[in-house]
Amino acid sequence: MDLKKILVVDDEADMRTFVSTVVETRGYNPVTAEDGAGAIALARSEPPALVILDVMMPGIDDGIQTYQQFKTDEKLNRIPIIMLSAIAKKTFFHTIRMLTPQKGQTVPEPEAYMEKPPDANELIRLIDELLAGEM
């Protein structure tokens, strides 16, 4: 049986390692990217079952723009995403509501949102819940 691939995207190496370890301990196959461009490229070449995406990343491809790309890309928009961030959930959801892609689509809210630092048990619960429909 193939292990379900989970893409972990975070610019902080410590956080990528922590989340990848949690994911792997649960029996999933973690793959990592340190920025949005890398995440989109990886997801297009080998779509993951789920993405865990940091909101605050440096550069043009920060987490919110990366999230917008995932949710407006026909090949990637069905992949569930857990947003992970140090910013408050309310602030993030307000930002998402303000996004209006060029195609006139609205950007849906993510399937889940966790504030940093994530609780390992809560993260596993969310992953299992989001992937339960695919088993």
The 10s digit of each residue's pLDDT in 21-75 is: 999 999 999 999 999 999 999 999 999 999 999 988 876 558 888 998 999 999 9
Q: Is residue 135 part of a domain?
A: no
Question: Does the global pTM surpass 0.85?
Answer: yes
Residue range of the domain that includes 99: 5-128
Q: Is residue 43 part of a domain?
A: yes
Which helix (H) or strand (E) is 9 found in, with range?
strand 5-9
Q: Is residue 45 part of a domain?
A: yes
Q: Two tokens at 48?
A: 């993951």
Closest CA to 28 of 4, 7, 54: 4
Closest CA to 126 of 117, 113, 115: 113
CA distances from 54 to 65, 70, 114 (A): 11, 13, 10
b/e 79-111 (16+ beta carbons within 10 angstroms → b): bbbbbbbebeeeebeeebeeeeeeeeeebeebe
CB–CB of 23/6 below 8 Å?
yes
pLDDT interval class at 94 (50, 70, 90): confident
Q: Summarize pLDDT for 108-125 with one digit per residue, the tens.
A: 889 999 999 999 999 999
CB–CB of 134/4 below 8 Å?
yes
pLDDT interval class at 99 (50, 70, 90): low
Q: Is residue 134 part of a domain?
A: no
- Assign residue 30 the CATH number of its domain: 3.40.50.2300
CB–CB of 49/78 below 8 Å?
no
Domain count for the chain: 1
Q: Is residue 133 part of a domain?
A: no
Q: Is residue 65 part of a domain?
A: yes
